[in-house]
Structure 1
Amino acid sequence: MFWQKRLKDFVARMRHYALPLRLRLWNGLEVDLGDAPMVTFTIKSLRGLRHLLRPSVASLGQAYVEGEIDLEGGIDDVISLAVQLSAHNTRHGQVRHGPRLVRHTRRVDAEAIAYHYDVSNDFYRFWLDKEMLYSCAYFRTAADSLEQAQEQKLDHILTKLDVRPGQTLLDIGCGWGALVLRAARKYGARALGITLSQNQYDLARQRIAEAGLEDRVEIRLQDYRDVSGKFDRIVSVGMFEHVGLRNLRGYFGRIHDLLADAGVCLNHGITSTDPDSAEAPFGGGEFIERYVFPHGELPHLSFALKEMAAAGLEATDVENLRRHYALTTHHWSRRFEQHGEQLKAMAGERRYRIWRAYLAGCAYGFNSNWIALHQILATKAGIGDATPLPLTRDYMYVGKA
């Protein structure tokens, strides 16, 4: 049969790389691509075999999610082998596309946020920290716990912003409310958090009520484009990935308009490491677009800074936290693996497979410099001596040694 010849050719080509991978077909045939296999791909159909014979991270991920391939072995080893198969596939391995320009409307963005975040709060509780922070943590050492690192992230952001008692703070994409609660409790700010996720909105409001902070913290189910007023401090954590490349200037422009003249803003977001593309290599971005973040687009740091400047904001500090996100996603993936059966029962087999592959793949991607995470601190351009920030970065690290 034709597929048998193609499989034979594929195996002969891949054996050259001595990959520790076993292939098991639906008819019982087993083939090892190298010695001492660490991972087994069970190919359950011809459709699954077609994905294998033209491997990319996207095609192999699709086959796994749709149940056409089953996996045995540690998830980190699985991801590594999927990447190696993709890299050795000369037809598809190095393909990169130009940035996708997605049309972002209020309805499209709200639907995309609901798709990703409104799984259920309990689903996220299994693998996030106790405060449910779904963004890059800040590790002083690699031995820090996830809980420590996430608390340190909140303080790192609020200290960078130089938040003072009585100041107003806007959190665009506030998640489950941890940052606005921290800003009010520890720094004395009056905070407004906005989200497009109903589940996040409900739990954040509950947390604020339980903390007795309704007079200082407000949560709204609101699009950032519909916010009015002026704020001393504006922060956006893990949000601008959803904005869209063609909307980035307008997004920063809205922040500019909402920021007080002597205000400070901080954008914390995932960035592409390829200046010519918003894609991760080997089809990783395609998998995330299809199954995890519909309409998500990653700008390169240079593009983000260009659009920020065009919107009238001056970047005063930029920090690359790529290694911190590699550690964060590694923690998430480990916790996800530990609670796999409960998560599968809660979310179903398909969604469980999506998130399992996504979290482990992100850990690999950040560790391999496919994607990065940058914090950009900014003020309004042209304000001269009115800038509220100290002359040096020393203030960011007081008491952190």
Structure 2
Amino acid sequence: MTLTLPPAPHGGPRAGRHLVDAALWPDVARLPRASALRTAVARRIVERAVRRLPLRVRTPGAAAPALPRQPRGSADGLPTLILHDPGAFFRRIGADGLIGFGESYMAGEWDGDDLVGVLTVLAGHVDDLVPQALRRLRGAWVHRRPASDRNTVDGARRNVHRHYDLSNELFATFLDPTLTYSSAVFASLPAGAEDLSAAQHRKIDRLLDLAGTGPGTTLLEIGTGWGELAVRAARRGARVRTVTLSREQRDLALRRVAEAGLRDRVTVELCDYRRVDGTYDAVVSVEMIEAVGAAYWPAYFGALHRLLAPGGRAVLQAITMPHERMLHTARTHTWISKYVFPGGLVPSREAIARHSAAAGLSLVHDTGYGEHYAETLRLWRERFLGRSAEVSALGFDHVFRRMWELYLAYSEAGFRSRYLDVRQLVLTGRTTADRGTG
């Protein structure tokens, strides 16, 4: 059966574009230039994909379109992508690919009756959406990452500022009271009535156990967050140095350390990982490698090796993606890199293994639990949507709220489709026998 969508009327519905602040969101407020051919190709790709996927497309007010063929055994209730402005939707995709797909959502030109469901279907079939014959033309739809996003020492500070310095109050609207912005580990799934704070403490305790953290341990944390791991390590008797590039996080982490009565055991510094000195029994870095950038992975793993005392352990929590997909993403300016994590790149397990080995580190532990991240993101998204009035009161407009909703849903879909995973890794460096060899 062929799915057909009605043509958009000339000068048709503007969805929410007239409400977009063009000074804040210039590429959302205006439609991009796109040739009729590129727009038609984008439309054809979407129509072809929908015919093959367990997904519906609907335009409000239009006659119900033919539905895609359902896989054998599938139930009713397919997620539905609702096109408020088909013409704008296809034009944005024709001009800018997946960046256009995201900007179209920010503009209010499409929705999903089950946004995570729609995105999970798309993420699970990401390699099949574009016909093989057209993949060679991929360069026509993608943009190179801007040089300004490179994670030089100055660039990394700017990139961190754009995300993590938005507002501590914003993050508090959807994170649990521990202010932990990384995957929790639940006792069982689905989470049910388990408190998210308890699940976050379970994750932190696993990391500290892997690092062998106890009385007298000297521990370096690369990527402070808002200080929960540092406080928990200090309560075990460790002496903690934690570094961040976010002033907002640093200031709040300092207050939280003081409130916990641990200023004698924890120091919080604005410092790039490349400029940290000393050696430590353990180095812990939770979901920070994603912000490093591929060009600087050698520097990151080299720093881990340099900072570990003989016999020490580096413990990472890292989001990962398949290696081939990572290679494509590394060359591409994506919607996430444009609006959410400038300069960021999710590594593959192969990339981590290769770069850590090149730095002289041995990978001795690797455990994944991506389904726990999907559940964590579900809880964050529900809290964020439930407190939209508070987000608005903080000065974030409706375009930002749609952007953040899409970011959380997009990420959850990545883990639900197994396109993404999250790993806890242990790396070891020099042994005591290597002392003095450099």
Verify same fold: TM over 0.5. yes
Partner of 2:151: 104
- Equivalent position amino acid for 1:34 in 2: L
What pairs up with 1:229-268 in 2 under 5 angstroms?
229-268=278-317
1:157 matched to 2:197? no
Deviation at 1:93, TM superposition (A): 12
Partner of 1:171: 221
Choose from 45, 50, 55 the match for 2:91: 50
Change (3 A) 1:377 1:46: same
Partner of 1:191: 240
> Are the aligned partners of 1:183 and 1:191 in contact in 2 as well (CA < 8 Å)?
yes
Higher mean displacement: 125-134 or 48-57: 48-57
Partner of 2:367: 319
Q: Distance in 2 between matches of 1:189 and 1:264?
A: 14
SS at match of 1:319: strand
1:34 matched to 2:67? yes
Partner of 2:263: 214
Partner of 2:383: 335
What pairs up with 1:1-400 in 2 under 5 angstroms?
16-17=51-52, 19-24=55-60, 29=62, 32=65, 34=67, 39=80, 41-44=82-85, 46-51=87-92, 57-65=98-106, 67=107, 69-71=109-111, 73-80=113-120, 88-90=129-131, 91=134, 103-142=150-189, 143=191, 144-185=194-235, 187-275=236-324, 277-279=326-328, 286-346=334-394, 347-381=396-430, 383=432
Structure 1 residue ranges without an equivalent (≥5):
387-401
Q: Distance in 1 between matches of 2:188 and 2:150?
A: 41
Q: Distance in 1 between matches of 2:169 and 2:340?
A: 18
SS at match of 2:326: coil
Change (3 A) 1:161 1:343: same
Q: Distance in 2 between matches of 1:98 and 1:236?
A: 30
- Equivalent position amino acid for 2:351 in 1: F
SS at match of 2:59: strand
RMSD after superposition? 3.5
- Equivalent position amino acid for 2:218 in 1: T
Show CA shifts across 1:326-356 (max 9, x none): 2221221222222234324432112211110
> Are the aligned partners of 1:135 and 1:238 in contact in 2 as well (CA < 8 Å)?
yes
Q: Distance in 2 between matches of 1:10 and 1:369?
A: 23
Deviation at 1:305, TM superposition (A): 1.2
SS at match of 1:64: helix
Q: Distance in 2 between matches of 1:240 and 1:106?
A: 15
> Are the aligned partners of 1:99 and 1:279 in contact in 2 as well (CA < 8 Å)?
no
Structure number having the greater strand percentage: 1
Q: Distance in 1 between matches of 2:48 and 2:150?
A: 41
Q: Distance in 1 between matches of 2:412 and 2:305?
A: 33
SS at match of 1:219: strand
Q: Distance in 2 between matches of 1:160 and 1:320?
A: 14
SS at match of 1:277: helix
Q: Distance in 2 between matches of 1:77 and 1:133?
A: 26
Q: Distance in 2 between matches of 1:306 and 1:99?
A: 25
> Are the aligned partners of 1:56 and 1:93 in contact in 2 as well (CA < 8 Å)?
no
- Equivalent position amino acid for 1:47 in 2: A
Deviation at 1:88, TM superposition (A): 4.6
Q: Distance in 2 between matches of 1:54 and 1:334?
A: 32
Q: Distance in 2 between matches of 1:99 and 1:166?
A: 47
**What is the aligned residue count?**
379
SS at match of 1:166: coil
Percent of residue pairs identical: 31
- Equivalent position amino acid for 1:156 in 2: R
Q: Distance in 2 between matches of 1:288 and 1:339?
A: 23
Q: Distance in 1 between matches of 2:345 and 2:215?
A: 36
> Are the aligned partners of 1:14 and 1:33 in contact in 2 as well (CA < 8 Å)?
no
Deviation at 1:175, TM superposition (A): 0.4
SS at match of 1:132: coil
Partner of 2:15: none
Structure 2 residue ranges without an equivalent (≥5):
1-5, 10-35, 69-76
> Are the aligned partners of 1:55 and 1:85 in contact in 2 as well (CA < 8 Å)?
no
Deviation at 1:309, TM superposition (A): 1.3
Deviation at 1:16, TM superposition (A): 3.9
TM-score, normalised with respect to structure 2: 0.76
Show CA shifts across 1:271-316 (max 9, x none): 22234634569x9x82211111111112211121111111111121
Change (3 A) 1:8 1:107: closer
Show CA shifts across 1:59-106 (max 9, x none): 3212112x1514252332342466589755535799699997974201
> Are the aligned partners of 1:118 and 1:197 in contact in 2 as well (CA < 8 Å)?
yes
Higher mean displacement: 238-247 or 87-96: 87-96
SS at match of 2:174: coil
Deviation at 1:40, TM superposition (A): 5.7
Deviation at 1:231, TM superposition (A): 1.1
TM-score, normalised with respect to structure 1: 0.83
